[in-house]
Amino acid sequence: MSYITDMYEVMFHNAPLAIQKIKKYVDTLEDAHGPIILAGTGMSGTAAIAAIKAHDADNDFRIFIVRKEHDDTHSMCRVETSVIISAYNQPVVFIDDLIDTGATQLHVIKQIYKRFTHARYEGTFLMARGFFQSREEIFLAYPSLEASVRRFEVNL
């Protein structure tokens, strides 16, 4: 039997509430540096970003979906994106249901910096918990992620 987890149900049926929570944290970033890039991977990231985009036509979010590392299905493209070129310090928010080791988040961030050297990772919105964690909060929790992100930024 198949069922939709609570997180997906919230995204599909209560997307406006999720958008409200996300915008609370990211509107100031958008005003400062242009449209926010919403980055995600897998089913949870794709579903969350699609729901946000569909329910918030007024906001000019950009989409950046990365295939999981060993996902060779459907497309030869590693990334699906609506971003053509990023502005200097254009904010990127990673969206997922949860973070375990930080490996998935690092994979997505690597793909962002590989394509958009001037983008800036600003933090993560955790759908399962319903809150935003700034890059500083994420770095405190995942020091190896901080080291990798800072390496990408130094090489700009």
pLDDT (average), residues 92-98: 82
Range in 3-12, 109-118, 132-141, 145-154 with the lowest mean pLDDT: 3-12
Q: What is the share, in percent, of the chain residues with pLDDT greater than 70?
A: 68
For residue 144, being part of any structural domain is answered with yes
Report the pLDDT value the prediction gives residue 96, as an integer from 0 to 100.
80
For residue 1, being part of any structural domain is answered with no
Give the chain's domain count.
1
pTM of the model: 0.78
- By the 8 A CB rule, do 18 and 101 touch? no
Report the pLDDT value the prediction gives residue 97, as an integer from 0 to 100.
74
Helix (H, G, I), strand (E, B) or coil at 67: coil
For residue 123, being part of any structural domain is answered with yes
Report the pLDDT value the prediction gives residue 37, as an integer from 0 to 100.
84
φ/ψ (deg, to 5) at 80: -115, 125
Asked whether the predicted pLDDT for residue 147 surpasses 70, the reply is yes
- By the 8 A CB rule, do 106 and 41 touch? no
pLDDT (average), residues 68-94: 71
CATH code: domain of residue 134: 3.40.50
For residue 145, being part of any structural domain is answered with yes
Q: Residue 65's domain spans which residues?
A: 6-154
- The tokens of 41 are what? 């991977």
